[in-house]
Structure 1
């Protein structure tokens, strides 16, 4: 009888263990099948995520993805950090801004999986400056702004997120022009609201991604003073930024998402596809802007406004792939961004540049995905570089030397 009881107990224990394993397996499988939520801001450079969805590439790689339009970069930040979004089209500098406390709670981790785009932002000035400051005429900006300040007491410029790319392009533009950033008011406005705010006189200029610079021209409320690729040709811009837990718990799914987006980036860099892309992303669920404006600036045809004619960018317009050189998440660019936080007074002391870049950039994961897709991995990371207009050498191994020069 004792032997029989032991056998029964053993069978019960085995059955319970089998049930537990099955439940754990079911839970794991259920989690892996949960739709992945990716956010985007209504900007032309959300195209890789939107087109990966529209072209059926997420399904091709075996993941179900829901894409959602978000209202502001702060909203994107909050939803990524809480896990409401698994990832998003994002300003590449945002994770470093948030982690260092410039644009969020210090120590909060958002991970960069890959880059999405280069170039394609612009600084737009209101028509008050028309005829006083021409396209790329940098030497006139400071005196014209000074005269306007004297006459009206205040000049206001807008960007989209503290420490974000648009903020850094605006402040670099001011520095190159010799304009003291403390002499003007700098405010934060979500990208889709820029043109409306300029129309009612809330700002004198703004830096934002397309198509909003082009829309301001089309609506006759402002003109393009400079494109960001004029400041820094082939500058990094947007990234696929993901929730920390998602990157750890669903790594295989993240790799599939990255493959789909990479293929979308390749597709977008075929000029013949850009008309189709413009017609799709211009629709109300996405950017909700005129397709012709999106298409023209995607193709490098910039109507500048203010009777300045058209500027043609033939090798430095918005790009998404460029043989894989766009998509590699470089730590040197992260270090450059954090050096700007120190340069422009956001941070009093230098952060631990390299440690933060190592923590927040999933470079090994990107390399794994790129190799599986036979995408070339650039070898220029951590090498010194300079911007197109500001020739100051930036050595990512020695940011202090750069800061010593630019802060004079």
Structure 2
């Protein structure tokens, strides 16, 4: 009898423990679904899709609560996405590939790309020390001017925002096109909002970053625009909605709602009538915290270049957020291009498994599901060869090795 009672007691305890575990798991799942989605951003004009989705009430429209937070640096964004402190963020599109390959983080760390946020709208700014010596898009003058400064001062420093990030890649492509030996100069990492202040005190001779920090340097008289990123590669990929891996799988429905809200904000932003309103909001202290007029002018494609160079008007290749669906589609070919640059510029000694990494980190199926539900056209140009505007070398994403054999380092 005692043996039977003990068995019944053990069975009862096991059943209760199982019940408690199921209840705890259910409670955790319900709580997680009710938690607000946490999205970060860096103070840049191209954080607009996330900020405007919040300001226009689009997250609420699609039934998801979102908390938007300003972050201090791309490294901070990386760490918070990986730990889950952020569910996602406005992010350099190439950052997940930089981190995964070990260029900009711990190799093998997975950050997922849900959709693209914008194209174009970055710039290379040179200090006024170069004013009158090299002008807008005058690439053949860059190397001799830098060489002269190196001879006089022994060091020339350029800044970008994250190793292997887009600003790093535009800077290095610019140097390659200009014929500038990248080993001859120092390249440092500075968070975007700190670029102008660092140039003011002479910490760098030039930098590559997103707007409005190119325009702000001009307005404050500390530098001038030598080239815009769309001059290097018209309609290049720039920022993406990058999310935590666990969030993308466990809260897939919430992520879809977030993507729909951001997609609608991107469509809204591409209407020129709305850009003045967007600039006024983005310029506020909780967001970019700078003059709305600088944000607005470059959002509209009107670039005061500084250094008495006048105004450059970009009519069709300024910062765009949707372009009939062409912008938001996360292409694997662009991921492969970015990783090929890591090999090209010596970040990686050997070629990574390009396609496998792109397949792993890009949530292309999810994007297509969201796009179709919103009747947004999905482009059919992924994995097709393309070339940069200024560098005419053709890049075939199915054969990066052939590209690396002919492209300039």
TM-score > 0.5, shorter chain as reference: yes
Structure 1 CA distance for aligned equivalents of residues 225 and 408 of structure 2? 28
- Structure 1 residues 100 and 370: alpha-carbon distance in aligned structure 2, compared to 1, 3 A threshold: same
Structure 1 CA distance for aligned equivalents of residues 17 and 100 of structure 2? 45
Q: Which whole-Å deviations, capped at 9, do the CAs of 1:135-165 have from their partners, x for residues lacking one? A: 0001100011001100110000000000000
Counterpart in the other structure of 2:292: 291
Counterpart in the other structure of 2:107: 106
Cα deviation for residue 16 of structure 1 reads: 8.9
Counterpart in the other structure of 1:51: 52
Structure 1 CA distance for aligned equivalents of residues 203 and 238 of structure 2? 26
Cα deviation for residue 169 of structure 1 reads: 0.1
Q: Equivalences for 1:145-160 in 2 at 5 Å? A: 145-160=146-161
Provide the secondary structure at the position in 1 that maps to 2:91: strand
Cα deviation for residue 12 of structure 1 reads: 11
Provide the secondary structure at the position in 1 that maps to 2:386: coil
Counterpart in the other structure of 2:338: 337
Counterpart in the other structure of 2:304: 303
Structure 2 CA distance for aligned equivalents of residues 387 and 16 of structure 1? 61
Structure 1 CA distance for aligned equivalents of residues 25 and 76 of structure 2? 34
Provide the secondary structure at the position in 2 that maps to 1:111: strand
Cα deviation for residue 15 of structure 1 reads: 9.5
Provide the secondary structure at the position in 2 that maps to 1:240: strand
Q: Does 1:88 align with 2:94?
A: no
Cα deviation for residue 28 of structure 1 reads: 1.8
Provide the secondary structure at the position in 1 that maps to 2:394: coil
Counterpart in the other structure of 2:130: 129
Structure 2 CA distance for aligned equivalents of residues 301 and 340 of structure 1? 30
CA contact (8 A) 2:176 2:408 kept: no
Counterpart in the other structure of 1:364: 365
Cα deviation for residue 37 of structure 1 reads: 0.5
Cα deviation for residue 23 of structure 1 reads: 5.0
Structure 1 CA distance for aligned equivalents of residues 173 and 12 of structure 2? 72
Structure 1: state its 5+ residue gaps.
Answer: none
Q: Equivalences for 1:5-404 in 2 at 5 Å? A: 23-404=24-405
Structure 2: state its 5+ residue gaps.
Answer: none
Structure 1 CA distance for aligned equivalents of residues 357 and 68 of structure 2? 29
Cα deviation for residue 31 of structure 1 reads: 1.1
